[in-house]
A and B are shown apart, each in its own frame.
Chain A
């Protein structure tokens, strides 16, 4: 066994990587994708799969450029994002108050909890056929689906959060002169906030998936439509492009916006969140 006094070049490289990625966490998130993209390019070039089924990264990037330049991608992206945002806003507006009600009232809980679970179990997508009958192939149908999808995780997690606020906090507030309504606003809502964030995060995770499915089936515009329309034309490039755009977008939103907020509310206030 020898005691190496000198540092090998691999160690220096690893040391540099560790230092940089601590300063710039973006690096740690991006670097692992480099070998994947390289592998992708190699497999595509090797001709193992016909280019019709498996295009290389270069072609995809070119298509990205084209679709950005002629405004199609930004337009579709805008459509998808607006639908998701609108649906989420409505979902929160319904879900949080409903969650408060069910969480605070034992009677409401007994009456509504099984109903909520059952309707959540039906799932957003199964509603599409009847929604198409009611509202046709349009925006209302899509927004409804997203609202439906977002509402349940939000409600269920809000209920969890509300019920995790200790009774003593209620009592402390009341004995300091707060009315029942004030208690909800000043104590229950902040106390349940970390869980609400978890619910929002989960809801969005299911929500964007429901959006894509709805866009595929309802088919007017949006990233989902882009992918399925390309599939109909047999063009795989846009499909891959769409998937990458979706993945990158959601990765950014979830990892760098939602997760930090979820952690911040939970950690700053020393509360514990549970994933549901």
Chain B
């Protein structure tokens, strides 16, 4: 796992309806250390998804630099894995083939990549679903597949774009706990975008608050690990941190 550095990221685009240039991202600089878990929160429209799309390489920045392990990156690539809010599983491939997709792109032979896929499916407790198609699975299970599919490709950095926003509240809590468990085992470098303040604090070591296309605050989360909702939901330290982050987000 590698570090992720963003320097003075900027995004300006032309809106045909307003007939003028619009600034989506003014100036964002942040650094994520190798193996760290950072959450990014902010009100709707603050630019967090735009930022993630630029880091992932789906969108070209208007200014600034993105570095992975110190090297500048352009365009999408397997070094930056992505987990999507809409899951983005390939409906025509089985769960196993979805998870094996990354290795397939790299040319890993079939037997080996299926082995890798099964290993990661076991990590998420999905071994029994290997031969199913995505449309046969529940939302929560689909997103688990989404997460391990990205992980199975062993990216340098893992980008997560509001991945649990499309599942129900109870499944969301389960997935969050699973994510922290997987993270503690594998220690990927994670940048996690969300609008849910509690989720951000629960998962991360650092919470960054965005507003109007720039960084507003950077809060360290020193809660002990492993983390579980049963323990933290009434924890004073957790509640204080969440309140602080919320205050920053609302003031933005």
Query: Does A pair with B?
Result: yes
B21 near A4 with CB under 8 A, answer yes
Of all chain B residues, the one with the shortest Cβ separation from A8 is B14
**CB-defined contacts of A232 to chain B, threshold 8 Å:** none
B62 near A15 with CB under 8 A, answer no
**CB-defined contacts of B62 to chain A, threshold 8 Å:** 1-4
A7 near B61 with CB under 8 A, answer no
Partner pick for B10 among A3, A16, A18, CB 8 A cutoff? A3
Of all chain A residues, the one with the shortest Cβ separation from B10 is A3
In the bound assembly, the distance between CA atoms of A11 and B62 in angstroms comes to 16
A15 near B63 with CB under 8 A, answer no
**Residue B70 lies at the interface, judged by CB distance under 8 Å to chain A:** no
Q: Which residues of A contact B (CB under 8 A)?
A: 1-7, 11-12, 14-19
Can you give 23 contacting A-B residue pairs, CB < 8 Å?
A1-B63, A2-B63, A3-B62, A3-B63, A4-B12, A4-B21, A4-B62, A5-B12, A5-B21, A6-B21, A7-B14, A7-B19, A7-B21, A11-B16, A12-B19, A14-B16, A15-B14, A15-B16, A15-B19, A18-B16, A18-B17, A19-B17, A19-B19
B interface: dominant SS: strand
What 1/0 flags go to B13-27 for Cβ under 8 Å of A? 011110111000000
In the bound assembly, the distance between CA atoms of A152 and B205 in angstroms comes to 65
B21 near A1 with CB under 8 A, answer no
In the bound assembly, the distance between CA atoms of A126 and B16 in angstroms comes to 53
Asked whether A11 and B14 contact (CB < 8 A) given A2-B63, A4-B21, the answer is yes
CB distance from A11 to the nearest CB of B (A): 5
Q: Among residues 74 to 114 in chain B, which have CB atoms less than 8 Å away from a CB atom of chain A?
A: none
Of all chain A residues, the one with the shortest Cβ separation from B65 is A1
A19 near B12 with CB under 8 A, answer no
**CB-defined contacts of A16 to chain B, threshold 8 Å:** 16, 19
Of all chain A residues, the one with the shortest Cβ separation from B61 is A1
**CB-defined contacts of B19 to chain A, threshold 8 Å:** 7, 12, 15-16, 19
CB distance from A15 to the nearest CB of B (A): 4
CB distance from A111 to the nearest CB of B (A): 35
**CB-defined contacts of B12 to chain A, threshold 8 Å:** 3-5
Q: Which residues of B contact A (CB under 8 A)?
A: 10, 12, 14-17, 19-21, 61-64
CB distance from A13 to the nearest CB of B (A): 10
B17 near A7 with CB under 8 A, answer no
Of all chain A residues, the one with the shortest Cβ separation from B20 is A7
CB distance from B146 to the nearest CB of A (A): 27
Of all chain B residues, the one with the shortest Cβ separation from A14 is B16
Of all chain A residues, the one with the shortest Cβ separation from B60 is A1
CB distance from B101 to the nearest CB of A (A): 31
CB distance from B251 to the nearest CB of A (A): 27
**CB-defined contacts of B17 to chain A, threshold 8 Å:** 15, 18-19
In the bound assembly, the distance between CA atoms of A4 and B17 in angstroms comes to 18
**CB-defined contacts of A19 to chain B, threshold 8 Å:** 16-17, 19
In the bound assembly, the distance between CA atoms of A75 and B61 in angstroms comes to 61
**CB-defined contacts of B14 to chain A, threshold 8 Å:** 7, 11, 15
CB distance from B234 to the nearest CB of A (A): 43
**CB-defined contacts of A5 to chain B, threshold 8 Å:** 12, 21
CB distance from B179 to the nearest CB of A (A): 34
In the bound assembly, the distance between CA atoms of A18 and B17 in angstroms comes to 7
**CB-defined contacts of A14 to chain B, threshold 8 Å:** 16
**CB-defined contacts of A11 to chain B, threshold 8 Å:** 14, 16
CB distance from A24 to the nearest CB of B (A): 15
**CB-defined contacts of B61 to chain A, threshold 8 Å:** 1
Of all chain A residues, the one with the shortest Cβ separation from B23 is A3
In the bound assembly, the distance between CA atoms of A156 and B160 in angstroms comes to 47
Query: Across chains A and B, which 4 residue pairs bring their CB atoms closest together, nearest first?
Result: A15-B16, A18-B16, A3-B62, A11-B14
**CB-defined contacts of A18 to chain B, threshold 8 Å:** 16-17
In the bound assembly, the distance between CA atoms of A4 and B20 in angstroms comes to 11
Of all chain A residues, the one with the shortest Cβ separation from B11 is A3
CB distance from B236 to the nearest CB of A (A): 45
CB distance from A159 to the nearest CB of B (A): 26
**CB-defined contacts of A6 to chain B, threshold 8 Å:** 21
**CB-defined contacts of A4 to chain B, threshold 8 Å:** 12, 21, 62
In the bound assembly, the distance between CA atoms of A17 and B16 in angstroms comes to 9
**CB-defined contacts of B21 to chain A, threshold 8 Å:** 4-7
Of all chain B residues, the one with the shortest Cβ separation from A12 is B19
In the bound assembly, the distance between CA atoms of A206 and B108 in angstroms comes to 50
Of all chain A residues, the one with the shortest Cβ separation from B16 is A15
In the bound assembly, the distance between CA atoms of A5 and B63 in angstroms comes to 12
In the bound assembly, the distance between CA atoms of A6 and B14 in angstroms comes to 10
CB distance from A146 to the nearest CB of B (A): 40
CB distance from A257 to the nearest CB of B (A): 29
**CB-defined contacts of A2 to chain B, threshold 8 Å:** 62-63
